[in-house]
Amino acid sequence: MPPASEFRSGIRQDLDAFVRARSAELAGKDGEDGMRIDLHCHDRNSDVPDETLGRILRVPETWLPTAKLLRTLKANGADALTITNHNNARSCWQALERGQDILPAAEFSCTLPDFDVGVHILTFGFTPEQESKLVRLRKNLYRFLEYTSNADIPTVLAHPLFFYSPKGLPPLELMDRFALLFERFEGVNGQRDSWQNILTVSWLQGLDEEGIAAASRRTGIAPGTYCRNPLSKRITGGSDCHMGIFAGSTGTLLRVPGWRAQGGSRAALALEALRRGEMAPYGSHCEEEKLTVAFLDYFCQVALHMEDPGLIRLLLHRGTTAEKLQALAISNGMFELRRHKYTSKFLGLFHECLQGRKPGWIASLLTSTAYKPVLAQMDAIAAARAHSPERLVQVLREALPAMFDRLTALLADRVKTKVRKLEEQGMDVGSMDLLGKIELPTHFRALIGQDDAQSRSGEPAGIDLGKWSDGLPFPALASTILGGAAFAASKIIHGHRDFVQGFAERIGRYRHPRRALWLTDTLEDKNGVSHVLQATLAEARRRDLPIDFLACATGKAGGLSAGPHLRLLPAVSDFTLPFYPDQTFRLPGLLELQKTFLDGGYDRIIVSTEAPMGLFALYLKHAFNVPAYFYMHTDWMDFAKRTLKYDKRKLDRLRRMLRAFYRRFDGVFLLNTEQRDHFASPGMGLPADRLFLTAHWTDAHFHPQKVEKHEIFSGVAGRAEIDQPVLLYAGRLSEEKGVLLLPEIFRSIQARVPGAKMAFAGTGPCLERLREALPEADFLGWVPAEKLAAAYSAADLLLLPSWFDTFSCALLEALGCGLPAVAFNTKGPRDILSEGRGGLLAEGPEQMAAMAASLLLDPARLQSLRTLALRRATDFRAEDIMNRLIEDIHLNGSNRRLSDPSRKPESPAKPMGAEFGAAPNQAFIGELLSLMGG
């Protein structure tokens, strides 16, 4: 199998080579025998969508006029014409009435009753009377195909690996039935994934008489029952274009010798060639940008043209409650969007650009400087559209992410400016304390500041969102439309990913590589999470593991550089939070991230931070239908309780928010058993068999070193003598780490061990307060790994007064250097030091001081703990930990999704052993609604 990064490019190359070879073979030496026809395109008479949501909203699949579609087909090189609207041939009959030469056709939505699967059947050359019969028969695919076979009506199975399956994905036996039901298959669909296209082509090329006979035995269907030539498999092409942008750029080359000199009806010649089966696909296959721009144009037209579906009609329409709520939200959203004149103008201009018409000079004159780059990209799109469909795809690949990034950056900058102004007015808007104050009214107008219901409720007014959001709607709405189109395109293309991968496994070709993309917004920072991730990256590089990391580049000198297993994206914007000022959060370009995931050949995600990367991970999960795993570093509930001093009400709200977030993932990796038990408790509600315990390890620097104390430690009171005991703290100097307890603890120890010294390795917001409390202590600052190992080796005892640590890398590093520890009896330290393995566990500051003093006064016991510390450190080996992680996310074998009921949970006995997967797939809106309630 080629490397993951070459998977997509290899597919495109193979599909291009097939199309070129078949087209050249069919067209003949002089190329004159081939007649081009797009066998799959739509216009405004595709006016009743298959999806219930579209029918509720009463929107057609396109507003494209027939005349415009026909002009586009001719401009893109079609020699014969047809239109395949859904379940009707009205456009064809109307064109024939006008005297135009067109092949009657339709794309019928048919049901395979034994699987309850809906498929699309391109059907050609029928009469109006036959159309009525076909419409009646389409509810049963078998009866439909019996009729078309007997009447010699050519059919083509459109996009064979894309079908409608409301009750879940069908078994792979479905493809056996397709092999027996059809002789013509759409192998190159211009709006479907190239992976699906090449798999279809490869499968059909491998189907021989023996394969057909085997399929017949498995299904009980005799060859020839539903098609005339079951051993002859023909491959067609079609643009599947609804917007008239790419119509004719993909299609079918029919072998019709001397057709140019024959005269008469080209449609009739095309129909006969279809019946003979002399055909080959031509043109371009799908890039995601093609479907994205189709959705963009569709969104533009829905926003500009959609009529009110009517509330009573909506409520009485067939459909689920969820579908009706979605329809209500969409219709309200579209009408609110239409009220915003700048966004409406943008949609209109963008639609015009997709027709090849550049924004006029007036639009350019009236556009503010901030939006000039967006207008420039729209100009480039219009020019490319006027040039050719191929050129349009090339430009869209760069223009759409550039537009999105610009709009996102403007939005982020304006939000930061507004936040600063509110802070200048004395409002603490950046604090997590707002969590307990913010509420959303049930009345929409109250939400945007156009109703006084909130003031009547007696609750504090807080922020007037209507006034506060002034200047934000356009970049927010425009970027949402761009991002929403990209998301919708990807979700449609990859919706049947599991079925497609299973099919690839079955035919033994074009299996998608297994490779994870690990997202993080901290990789070069000076903190524990960054240190762990750097070690994990180093291990991935050392063993060439199927894991790549992705981070935002800062542009700073000496910063990150892309390399093996590390991909960098420029940060569109960044920000800090008042309660976490040392950490910079960076925003990558969402569409650029989406493109990176696709082109890199990834099929699963790991993420280490909740926001913003955690939200981006969930976007990728749903856009590409891949599993996503969260790697837990920080216990935010404990942070809020101990550092932010949250009361019960605020903690409950935070818990619900975190629960809603973590349940979206297919797996959560946890670093201690206490946290695992919390996540499995009723308050969080994550299934216990879907929680993975993992661990960290230390790098090669952390081993005992021969070093004298006076070479490492010095202080205001003078050098530490060799016989003076040194107590060391290593880590972030912040309140949640418990460092403000150390002065009291140290003074108590010093009272019993007068010569004791205290040293700190690390930086943080509590540094100055510690200097004031312990002026005689040694403050080493941020210490690199090789020097930190020397400090561990020279010290006598490590003190860890934190109730907050989910694991404690500092503890493991110290053990690796033979340094015993006294830590609070909590979370990670408890798992590491239980049963006295290298240290002691204290229940509070007084006991910590007593234990530490006792050890310092008992050299033999201290030496015994040194031996146990070294032994315990060997239990945490990088190779073992990473092997287990790879197994847990299924990178080393079976690609079964975690929802597979046959998957057995393993025993959680080992510290890094419990398995974990996805929570039940409940609607995210349900979780959001529960945030304010129970």
Q: What is the pLDDT of residue 189?
A: 93
Q: Is 234 helix (H, G, I), strand (E, B) or coil?
A: strand
Q: Is 252 helix (H, G, I), strand (E, B) or coil?
A: strand
Q: pLDDT of 820-845, one tens digit each?
A: 999 999 999 999 998 888 999 999 99
Angstrom CA distances, 382 to 260, 376, 377, stand at: 34, 10, 9
CA–CA gap between residue 265 and residue 100 (Å, rounded): 10
Neighbours of 922 (CB within 10 A): 12
In this prediction, residue 746 has a pLDDT band, given cuts at 50, 70 and 90, of: very high
Single out the residue of 680, 913, 675, 671 nearest to residue 808, CA to CA: 671
Helix, strand, coil % (nearest 5) of the chain? 50, 15, 35
CA–CA gap between residue 850 and residue 170 (Å, rounded): 66
Q: pLDDT of 623-680, one tens digit each?
A: 999 999 999 998 889 888 887 888 899 999 999 999 999 999 999 999 999 999 999 9
CB 796 within 8 A of CB 726: yes
CA–CA gap between residue 728 and residue 441 (Å, rounded): 52
User: Which helix (DSSP H) or strand (DSSP E) does residue 110 occupy?
Assistant: strand 105-112
- Residue 820 burial by CB count (10 A; 0-12/13-18/19+): exposed, middle or buried? buried
Question: pTM of this prediction?
Answer: 0.88
203-217, 577-591, 830-844 — which is least confidently predicted? 577-591
Q: Which residue's entry shows tokens 């590390």?
A: 566
One DSSP character per residue, 273-285 reads: HHHHT-EEEEE--
Q: What is the pLDDT of residue 669?
A: 97
Taking residues 895-916, what's their average pLDDT? 35
| Token code pair at residue 90 | 């009205």
Q: What is the pLDDT of residue 672?
A: 93
Single out the residue of 792, 802, 794 nearest to residue 822, CA to CA: 802
* R_g over Cα of the chain: 33
User: CA triplet 56, 59, 64: central angle to 5 degrees?
Assistant: 160
Sorted by sequence, the CB contacts under 8 Å of residue 274 that are 6+ apart come out as 124, 125, 154, 184, 254
Helices 4-27, 194-206: inter-axial angle, 10-degree rounding: 60
Neighbours of 197 (CB within 10 A): 30
| Token code pair at residue 421 | 């102004």
438-442, 562-566, 873-877 — which is least confidently predicted? 438-442
| Token code pair at residue 840 | 């002691």
Q: Is the pLDDT of residue 383 over 60?
A: yes
Angstrom CA distances, 744 to 190, 729, 754, 761, 804, stand at: 71, 14, 15, 18, 19
* Between 919 and 889, the higher pLDDT residue: 889
* Between 729 and 420, the higher pLDDT residue: 729
Q: Which residue's entry shows tokens 């059947």?
A: 121
- The phi and psi torsions of 797 (rounded to 5 degrees) equal -160, 140
Q: pLDDT of 167-180, one tens digit each?
A: 899 999 999 999 99
Q: Is the pLDDT of residue 914 over 60?
A: no
Q: pLDDT of 229-257, one tens digit each?
A: 889 999 999 999 999 999 999 999 999 99
- The phi and psi torsions of 636 (rounded to 5 degrees) equal -70, -30
* Between 107 and 556, the higher pLDDT residue: 107
Neighbours of 655 (CB within 10 A): 17
Name the β-bridge partners of 800: 823
Q: Is the pLDDT of residue 715 over 60?
A: no
User: CA triplet 42, 45, 47: central angle to 5 degrees?
Assistant: 100
Q: pLDDT of 268-312, one tens digit each?
A: 999 999 999 999 999 987 778 888 989 899 888 888 888 888 989
543 Rama class: left (phi>0) / alpha (psi -120 to 50) / beta: alpha
Q: What is the pLDDT of residue 470?
A: 57
- Residue 441 burial by CB count (10 A; 0-12/13-18/19+): exposed, middle or buried? middle
In this prediction, residue 912 has a pLDDT band, given cuts at 50, 70 and 90, of: very low
Q: pLDDT of 305-362, one tens digit each?
A: 888 889 898 888 888 898 889 889 888 888 877 888 888 888 889 999 999 998 887 7
Q: What is the pLDDT of residue 919?
A: 32
Q: What is the pLDDT of residue 428?
A: 62
Single out the residue of 512, 733, 507 nearest to residue 627, CA to CA: 512
Q: Is the pLDDT of residue 716 over 60?
A: no
Taking residues 198-209, what's their average pLDDT? 95
Q: Is the pLDDT of residue 916 over 90?
A: no
- Strand ranges of the sheet holding 516-519, from the earlier edge strand across to the other edge: 580-588, 566-577, 547-553, 516-519, 604-607, 628-631, 667-670, 691-693
- Residue 495 burial by CB count (10 A; 0-12/13-18/19+): exposed, middle or buried? middle
CA–CA gap between residue 152 and residue 122 (Å, rounded): 14
User: CA triplet 213, 214, 220: central angle to 5 degrees?
Assistant: 80
Q: What is the pLDDT of residue 897?
A: 39
Q: What is the pLDDT of residue 923?
A: 35
Q: How far apart are the first and last CA of the chain?
A: 50
Pairing of strands 628-631, 604-607: parallel
Q: What is the pLDDT of residue 446?
A: 53
User: Which helix (DSSP H) or strand (DSSP E) does residue 184 occupy?
Assistant: strand 184-189
Q: Is the pLDDT of residue 29 over 80?
A: no
Q: What is the pLDDT of residue 438?
A: 60
Q: What is the dihedral of CA 235, 240, 244, 248, to 10 degrees?
A: 0
How far from chain centre, in Å, is Cα 710?
52
Sorted by sequence, the CB contacts under 8 Å of residue 341 that are 6+ apart come out as none
* Between 146 and 54, the higher pLDDT residue: 146
How far from chain centre, in Å, is Cα 139?
36
Buried b / exposed e along 108-129 (16+ C-beta atoms within 10 A): bbbbbeebebbbbbbbbbbeee
Where would I find the beta strands (DSSP E) of 195-311? 234-238, 250-255, 279-283
CB 420 within 8 A of CB 639: no
Where would I find the beta strands (DSSP E) of 658-803? 667-670, 691-693, 726-730, 757-761, 778-779, 797-800
Q: Is the pLDDT of residue 554 over 70?
A: no
Name the β-bridge partners of 571: 588
Angstrom CA distances, 242 to 61, 79, 909, stand at: 7, 19, 56
Q: What is the pLDDT of residue 733?
A: 93
Q: What is the pLDDT of residue 517?
A: 97
Mean pLDDT estimate for the chain:
86
CA–CA gap between residue 884 and residue 892 (Å, rounded): 10
Q: What is the pLDDT of residue 418?
A: 78
CA–CA gap between residue 437 and residue 46 (Å, rounded): 49
Name the β-bridge partners of 799: 822
CB 284 within 8 A of CB 331: no
